[in-house]
Structure 1
Amino acid sequence: MFELFLPMLERLGIIVTVAFIITRFRFLRELIDQKTLDSRQQYMAIAFFGVFGIIGTYTGITYDTSSFDFGRWTYTLVESEALANSRVIGIVAAGLFGGYRIGIGAGIIAGVHRFSLGGFTGAACGISAVVAGVIAGYFHKKGKPLKLKTAFFVGALAETLQMGIILLISDPFARAWVLVQEIGLPMVAANGVGSALFLLIIRNVLHEEEKVGALQAQKALRLAESTVSHLRKGLTKDSAEKACQIIFKEVQVSAISMTDKERILAHVGQADDHHKAGEPIQTDATREVIHTGERIVVRHEDIHCQHPSCPLGAAVIVPLKKRQEVVGTLKFYVTTPKEISNVLLELIQGLSSLLSQQLELADAEKAQELAREAEVKALQAQVNPHFLFNSLNVIVSLTRTEPDKARSLLIALSRFFRQNLGATTKTWTTLKEELKHVKAYLLIEETRFVDRLHVDYDVDESALSARIAPLTLQPLVENSIKHGIKDQEVEAQIIISIQQVGGHVEILVKDNGAGIDGDRLKTLGEQSVESSVGTGFGLFNVNKRLEHMHGEGSKLQIKSNKGQGTDIAFSIPFYEKETLS
């Protein structure tokens, strides 16, 4: 009995090695990973595991019950011979992974083959092969991970039942009894261990797939981060070219291409001498991806390249979408279809999703930019017609008595409205320009108030190059006049302070007006509120634009007490070399 252990372990090593090699093939890895197999896949699985069982039979050790000798590999058996083998491993694996149908199917293939070899145990071994498939199918748990101890138990149990069937069916019984005593225990132990080892190999393969998938996900995220600065400008020829160049350096393919719905936007890599940007889309496969929004893998003949020596032998085409609508495609070219692995397909699919999200973000940023422009126009629309009429009335009244002053006010009014109109075409301006705008506005207001309004400027000249959104400062000053000091009988005062503090510029508009009651102060700048004294829409717009363009830390800080004036402050980042975009 014990002299059989070493040869059985030797044969077991061969089976395990074969199993490990087979799991390197994409077919088996796809098969094992499938939760639900279609009919074709089931037949392929039955054939595969059936052949695996046949290999286990051929690698068995012959045992002659007459001479009590163990032999080597054999292809036929005489009446007195039997086999100590590892056939059960393939059948048990079939049932555990695929259930009854695949387990029994593999058992029939391996069992019929064993029966054809002959020997006095041929019929018993053939039947026990099918029984092993039934037992393994019983322990199949769909969607649940298999445990090593379960595989060991099923393998050992199937082999134990085979020993029992040999004793029941094989004739003569005495010969069967001698055989079971000699090979029973080694085969039970070896096949139990072999089934567990096979499961362990499969686990390692799946774990390896998960690790590779995680690495590909990291690569996809890294590529998406690298391309975001380009694709956030939209799907254009320039952004597509730069994105394709970045992806091509990281992904091991022959070429990368990107299209919109009609034309090739970029092609980087092999065949760029005849696959050129600007040309119309040539392949029906690309049009199909645009139409269906589904990934397609094509061969050389489907690429429709007319160049006789084109090196591109296959391609993966994936859609680029914005809000579920296909706006273009991303193509990965390789030399042969064999280069298209599961890992590459997962990477391509992940990139397609991430790049599509970037294109959606590009649209969102454009919409945000339009919203900012709309806010500026809304601020312009708020220029009170009474301000214009009152200003013109003041100028008319001064034309006779103080013509020079009237001329200065006309220039200030012209400058004020020119600044308002120019704000619609600019995203940024400088604090210097903003302060000019405020001074033009205040020159008119000071004249209207006839010495009742006094403005103090505390300005750090070095801070005036800081960038700021147009029409940010003037609405704050206007708010102080309209709601703070307009009806004030005593001398009204406004202080405008601009100071550089470290890496920021701190800006303050302070008045000594009527102040703001507590309930209104809570919502001012955060939302527009209808009331008898105004809507707060100007402060709301300014606050939101500061938040959008400079960040959360630049929002308005409003302090006020009823009858004690109001302070409106905010800060913006300041860089040594400010430039306007």
Structure 2
Amino acid sequence: MSWILLVSMAERMGFIVAIAFLLTRWPRFRRLLDHPASLTDKLLLAMVFGLFGIIGTYSGITVSPGEVKHQFPGYLSYEDAIANSRAIGVIVAGLLGGPLTGLGASLIASIHRVLLGGFTDIACGVSTLFEGLLAGVIYQIRHNEGVSPWVGLATGLVGEIGQMGIILALAKPFDQAWMLVQIIALPMIIANSLGIALFIAIVRTVVENERWIGAMQAQKALAIADQTLSHLRTGLNYDSALATAKIIYREADLAAVAITDRQVILAHVGEGADHHLTGTAILTRVTRQVLDSGQLKIATNPSEILCEVPHCPLRSAVVVPLRSGPKVIGTLKLYSIKESKPDRLMVELAKGLAHLFSTQLELGEAERQARLLQDAEIKALQAQINPHFLFNALNTVVSLIRTNPDEARRVLIQLGNYIRQNLKSSLSKWTNLETELKHVQAYLAVVQARFSNLLKVTIDVPLALYGIALPPLTLQPLVENAVQHGFAKITEISAVEISAVDQGDHVLITVKDNGVGIDPEMQRYLLDAERDAERDRGVDGIGLINVHSRLVGVFGPESGLNIYSVPGQGTTISFKVPVNSE
């Protein structure tokens, strides 16, 4: 009879698989797996798993003395009991959500079981609470390592063996309880333990696969961006568009890739290249819609693409706008030969590339504006810091995407703030101390993401001095120099202090670090405007001489940089800004 019961319970495993997969689609459940959930999330999940436990009861098999009834139990007579899978929902709740979630789910499921009746009602209610609390304790022990299917299997075995012991201890009469345990013990211990292990295995496999796919897509997007940066810095033209489209086509395994400006096709690589010709007018309606609306569009069939050439092989597409500032200057189009809605990964790839390309195009436009303004010093500084900082930031984001997506998002926001201020700085002759400090804070937020708590930053600037005028990109290069060159290795607490002091007719601004210091000969060399740039290419300090030269040019020799440094103890760089400088 036990083997018949085991087969019957095993047949219900498909239900467990379906529930496990559906839960992986639920954002609150995903948050539970990725990082500590809120109290609200835990209580809601306790209700869900409690309901799962109730379903496990109703999907059980009624067992009477000497008889197994293959039916869903309703209200039980006193002699009846249930061979059920209630433990699966309760134990999984505790293993994945912790003690509170496990206790909540077990309380819901146990109250329901007691209300059904039968001579094991109290015993089953108590054993359900025991299993929920047991799983919560295992969660506390294994939280840092994570819960594997093997841990789920072991917890299920202990929990179900414990349930049989509780039934024998509490259910009366004992003879009837003993007869019941002989029938249900082996099937429930085996089926429910395997069910718990299967549930956790499915959840972990689905979530880890999606994380892996997401990480691969992010790396693919960043690899494409890395290869296309040098091309798009020249602007959106035939050459840069063709080079970019070829890189995307090669790296992303798409049917076709196209880039347009507002009037013509700049490049088309892949299927349909025989009639989507470079230099011809834009053929597809969906592209026109994106140019007009500035919003992403998805074409799921040829009628939505509306290519004017019959039998065009392109069946679906994702079209995203390319921007320079607020203005839409073109589109990026990723095509498929399948007549269906493009998958989410393709859409996210298109959005990510468009954002990166738009940023790079905007950077390129800023550089062209700088040349038109003949601001050679600012242009040189931009050319030095933008690519270096951008690549470091992207590498940091790649690392954080897998371990801490929320932190990755925060770093990207700060990176956007940093780049935006760079663009504004290249177009302005003047800024103020408040804006410079915000620029520095955006830079430091990204840098600190790389070094965790090892970099300590102190800013001591009175609010009354925030309006002091000074040339743009004055403060940030000094802070960057302290971080990049002041600390040989950030392996212990490193400190950067930024201060401003009102000294009457001028303000003294200071950037101080506790790093490796600079020897006296190098100090003189760093501010030598006559040094041979070609001979010394790659030597540190180009940013410092740039800032020094601009301060001297704007305010006079008394406002140039002063460097005081003791090797092994740190460096202090200061300069004076007249109070009425603008």
The TM-score range, normalised by the shorter chain, is: 0.3 to 0.5
After TM superposition, the score normalised by the length of structure 2 is 0.47
After TM superposition, the score normalised by the length of structure 1 is 0.47
